Structure 1
Amino acid sequence: MTLTINEDLRAYIDPLTEDEFTALERSLLTEGCRDALVLWGDLLVDGHNRYSICQKHEIPFNTIQSQTFTSLDDVHLWMIDNHLGRRSVSDFQRGVLALRKKEIVSSRMAQAPAKPASEESAAVDATAKSEREPPWNREAVARSARMSSATLGNIEKIQKTAAPELVNAIKSGVISINAAAAVASLSSEEQIAAVAGGKKELRQAARQVREARLPPKPELPPPPENASADQLEIFRLAQVVAELTDERDLLKKKVQHLTIALSEARGGQ
């Protein structure tokens, strides 16, 4: 059977890594192609890797026709939902897919024609619509991707401003989403230089960006020239408190950096 391959559709989901592709090929050679390839007419929707391996090794395969697709948007939404349910998809990939779904659904909702109706029927339609369609705000999209709204916001920022080299560093696990969002605020040249410097340079760049965002600390006003002993003592104690506060904040930063480094090290295992 010859199927039609749409290259944009094939590239819509991140490709398998070399190790993942090798593992899939080994599985197909050992067990055969157990899952049917999903088609829309003769267009291959799901199973591009399995199809290429089966063609290469002449492995028999089955296909199944989807009766629900009416447009490429339907195909894209099905692909997104299918991959969001897989455990092997990384947090970054899930966020990207969820944002794509938000874009498609929001566009459809905006283009839906308004139907004139009585006040009573309009209220019924609005209630039914609210039950069918989730509110596509950031919180709802984050829930669909099983992540926090803050993480999804960082992924959205990365998509808009990150250099391709920085995105590749995220996908390969060299840098966390949180740290990458900070580095993405730098110029493209600075991002590329940080990626070229490796994990240590990326962490340093993220740390510098975060520290630059901190508001300047107010200086203590000096005591008046004719200050009393009590006023001088209050000023001295205020200086001690300020020094202790700085020391506390420094320790908190160290703990935060160590926590991020530990999280990235565990993610790379």
Structure 2
Amino acid sequence: MTINVNPDLRAYIDPLTEDEFAALERSLLSEGCRDALVLWGDLLVDGHNRYGICQKHGIPFNTTQNKTFQSMDDVHLWMIDNHLGRRSVSDFQRGVLALRKKEIVAARASQAQTRQSSVESAESDGAAQSESEPPLTREAVARAARVSSATLGQIEKIQKTAAPELVSAVKSGVISINAAAAVATLPSEEQVAAVAGGKKELRQAARQVREARLPPKPELEPPPSDATPDQVEIHRLMQLLAELTDERDQLKKKVQHLTIALAEARGAK
């Protein structure tokens, strides 16, 4: 039986880490290949790692045909939905996959609309409309990825503006999505330098970006020279309130930074 491997299709989903690949290889060697490889004709759709390991060690395997595929978009959507349901996929990976799904569905809807506008009969209009898929809202995409809408927005920002080195750091868990989205607003060379500096440098860069976004502190005008005692006292109290507010904001920032650092430390375990 001929099985064709499409390099682009194989690379469509992030590859396994070295540890994950080694664990899969040990499992196949000890238990055999229990799950069938999914094919579309002779094209391998799911099971690229298993197929490579089985070929290497001469391990028998089974295949199954998915007869629902009509196009490569169908294949991509199936691969996305298949991986979105896996526990081992990180929040960032799920977000990227869900955003890809949104792009495919949007492109299909646009194509269907173009076809619909070109037909002349009402029957053809109805047929074209039935091919169109409902657009995916941001909330629906976030639910598919099992992340919040805010996190999904941060993933989009990372995809659009992050240097490749920063993206790799997010994928490997060196930096959180939240912190990476902040660092991604820096010039590319500064992002690369922060990644090269390791976790501590990345956290510092993210902290500086967040602090730079804070609005400037309003300065109180001194009381006039002919101010009454009551006016002087009001000014003193307002100044004290401003200092206490600033102290509160500083404590809130420290709590936020500690929360992020704790989440990153837990994710690294």
Common fold by TM > 0.5: yes
What CA distance in whole angstroms lies between the structure 2 residues aligned with 1:7 and 1:145?
25
| Counterpart residue type for residue 49 of structure 1 | N
Number of aligned residue pairs: 262
Shift of residue 254, structure 1, vs aligned partner: 0.5
Whether the aligned pair in 1 keeps the contact of 2:54 and 2:61 (CA below 8 Å) is yes
Whether the aligned pair in 1 keeps the contact of 2:109 and 2:133 (CA below 8 Å) is no
Shift of residue 72, structure 1, vs aligned partner: 0.8
Shift of residue 86, structure 1, vs aligned partner: 0.4
Report SS of the residue matched to 2:185: coil
Is 2:178 the partner of 1:184? no
Q: How big is each residue's C-alpha offset from its partner over 1:116-171, in whole Å with a ceiling of 9 and x where there is no partner? A: 677xx97xx98x89xx9454121111111111000000000000010011011111
| Counterpart residue type for residue 65 of structure 1 | Q
What CA distance in whole angstroms lies between the structure 2 residues aligned with 1:108 and 1:139?
19
Match of 2:138 in 1: 138
The 10-residue stretch of structure 1 (134-143 or 62-71) with the greater mean CA deviation from structure 2: 134-143
What CA distance in whole angstroms lies between the structure 2 residues aligned with 1:133 and 1:65?
25
Report SS of the residue matched to 1:150: helix
What CA distance in whole angstroms lies between the structure 2 residues aligned with 1:230 and 1:89?
63
| Counterpart residue type for residue 37 of structure 1 | L
Shift of residue 200, structure 1, vs aligned partner: 0.6
Match of 2:100 in 1: 100
What CA distance in whole angstroms lies between the structure 1 residues aligned with 2:50 and 2:136?
34
What CA distance in whole angstroms lies between the structure 2 residues aligned with 1:117 and 1:190?
58
Whether the aligned pair in 1 keeps the contact of 2:109 and 2:134 (CA below 8 Å) is no
What CA distance in whole angstroms lies between the structure 1 residues aligned with 2:208 and 2:102?
33
Match of 1:45 in 2: 45
What CA distance in whole angstroms lies between the structure 2 residues aligned with 1:7 and 1:193?
32
What CA distance in whole angstroms lies between the structure 2 residues aligned with 1:116 and 1:215?
57
Report SS of the residue matched to 2:34: coil
What CA distance in whole angstroms lies between the structure 1 residues aligned with 2:9 and 2:53?
18
> TM-score normalised to the size of structure 1?
0.93
| Counterpart residue type for residue 199 of structure 2 | K
Match of 2:170 in 1: 170
Report SS of the residue matched to 1:4: coil
- RMSD of the alignment, in Å? 1.7
Match of 1:159 in 2: 159
| Counterpart residue type for residue 229 of structure 1 | P
Shift of residue 217, structure 1, vs aligned partner: 1.6
- Aligned-pair identity in percent equals 79
What CA distance in whole angstroms lies between the structure 1 residues aligned with 2:42 and 2:241?
73
Shift of residue 2, structure 1, vs aligned partner: 3.2
Report SS of the residue matched to 1:64: strand
Shift of residue 94, structure 1, vs aligned partner: 0.1
| Counterpart residue type for residue 52 of structure 1 | G
Match of 1:259 in 2: 259
Whether the aligned pair in 1 keeps the contact of 2:105 and 2:133 (CA below 8 Å) is no
Q: 5+ unaligned residues in a row in structure 1: which ranges?
A: none
What CA distance in whole angstroms lies between the structure 2 residues aligned with 1:174 and 1:59?
36
What CA distance in whole angstroms lies between the structure 1 residues aligned with 2:187 and 2:22?
37
Q: 5+ unaligned residues in a row in structure 2: which ranges?
A: none
Is 2:236 the partner of 1:241? no
What CA distance in whole angstroms lies between the structure 1 residues aligned with 2:134 and 2:243?
50
- CA, structure 1 residues 139+117, in 2 after alignment: closer, same or farther (shift >3 Å)? farther
Whether the aligned pair in 2 keeps the contact of 1:134 and 1:140 (CA below 8 Å) is no
Is 2:73 the partner of 1:73? yes
Equivalent runs, 1:225-236 vs 2, <5 Å:
225-236=225-236
| Counterpart residue type for residue 236 of structure 2 | R
Report SS of the residue matched to 1:253: helix
Whether the aligned pair in 1 keeps the contact of 2:105 and 2:135 (CA below 8 Å) is no
Is 2:59 the partner of 1:29? no
What CA distance in whole angstroms lies between the structure 1 residues aligned with 2:18 and 2:203?
27
